[in-house]
Amino acid sequence: MTEVRAGRPRAAADLRRMRGSTAVTLWVLVLIGGFLQIVLGVDGEPGLRMGVLIVTSIVSCVLALAVVPLLLRASDGASARHPLVIALLVVAGLAWGIALLPPFAGWRWGFLFALGGGMLGCLVSRWWSAVVLAAVLGSIAVGFLSAPTGSSGSAGGPTTPGEGSDVVIVGTLALVTVMPLSAVWVLRVVLRLEDARQTASELAVATERLRFATDLHDIQGHHLQVIALKGELAERRLFADQPELAAQELADIRRIAQTALDDTRAVVNDYRTVTVAVEARNAAAVLRSAGIDCEARIDVPELPVQIGAVFALAIREAATNILRHSRATEASLDLVRSGSDEYRLTVSNNGSGALRTGGTGLRGITERVAVWGGTVETRRRGDTFTLVIRIPRASGQHPVEADS
């Protein structure tokens, strides 16, 4: 949790830097486009047409700078109808349209129109973006075709449309059209990755909370049930004038409560380790103290610690269920290695009550066993209820000697 909290400010700072760098990139692109459009375009005789082209170019440059923030926060097509976007397209389109009028004023006057088309492509849906790009590039092609061979490529000087400099400018116009799309696309990819990271963090927190709740249920449910049983036995023996036995039961209650407290602290600090052999002995002792004849057999000489912890929790849950939901007089716990393929835990009792639904104990055990590729099976024949848990031996890691 500390790492998650510490990572959020860094991620937020990275996002701010990414937005800032994208904005600076787009602003620089607009300034370069406006500079090239005016400096390269103004090479002919001054006149009304030249003055209108210069004014519309300056206005288009200012509008394009104002549109950049819309590109950084646009999440749908709503910003495509923003007045600034419409004004940019109208003014830049007017400048390009004037340049197309005979005699053709040159492709130099199309930079801001190409930028405006690229910005509009960032604000519409994917398919409309393709339409916008096609329209802008088509308009540039019209400009190329509008200048017949030998006609003036600018308002005041004869050039040929096929000249190398003009071909370079046409290619630059096509590149300028797609550059805003590229910059904004990278920003949006980063934003989607950040959303995915936040979702993963939230899922990790939810998973950890579920794990903690399951562990707490396994620990406290078992201990509280045993404490209740011991308290009932102590009460009976006090009424039966057996103070020594009652005192023993009260001592057991104190010990079990302390164990529950220690286990709860261990769960909180995430270092709790359950030993399957010890858990089996404790479960058998508790069942016997409740008047249930219980036999426990553990025969797993190379049981991995991780799998042993799963079986230990399953034994604890099974013993708790026997105490709470059965009228058993006999029970058995049997954990063996079946051949060389799997470990198998079998827990049975002869006093099965009515079947219950909606419990979380066996569901939690099933989830834990599934992580190791195992299965949980329950059978009921008459009054005998049997729980069988199997975990493949191949799923274990770092085998150690089990406690005996």
User: pLDDT tens across 337-378, in order?
Assistant: 887 788 999 999 988 765 555 556 678 888 888 888 899 999
Across the chain, mean pLDDT equals 77
What is the β-pairing status of strands 330-338 and 342-349? antiparallel
Alpha helices in 270-304 (DSSP H): 276-289
Query: Residue 304 is which amino acid?
Result: P
Rounded CA-CA distance 158/154 in Å is: 7
Rounded CA-CA distance 385/399 in Å is: 31
Q: What is the pLDDT of residues 220-265, one digit of tens each?
A: 776 777 777 777 777 776 666 777 777 777 777 777 777 777 676 6
Rounded CA-CA distance 84/122 in Å is: 14
Rounded CA-CA distance 364/370 in Å is: 10
Q: Is the four-CA dihedral 178, 181, 183, 189 of positive or negative sign?
A: negative
Q: What is the pLDDT of residues 84-99, one digit of tens each?
A: 988 998 998 898 888 8
Rounded CA-CA distance 110/140 in Å is: 7
User: 334: helix, coil or strand?
Assistant: strand
Please, what is the angle between helix 305-325 and helix 361-371, to 10°?
160
Regarding the domain with residue range 275-404, which homologous superfamily does it belong to in the CATH classification?
Histidine kinase-like ATPase, C-terminal domain (3.30.565.10)
Model pTM? Answer: 0.49
pLDDT computed for residue 284 by the predictor: 85
Place of tokens 């009652």: 246
DSSP letter assigned to residue 156: S
Q: What is the mean pLDDT of residues 162-174?
A: 70
Q: Which residue has the higher pLDDT, 145 or 310?
A: 310
Residues 6+ apart with CB under 8 A from 227: 253, 256, 257, 260
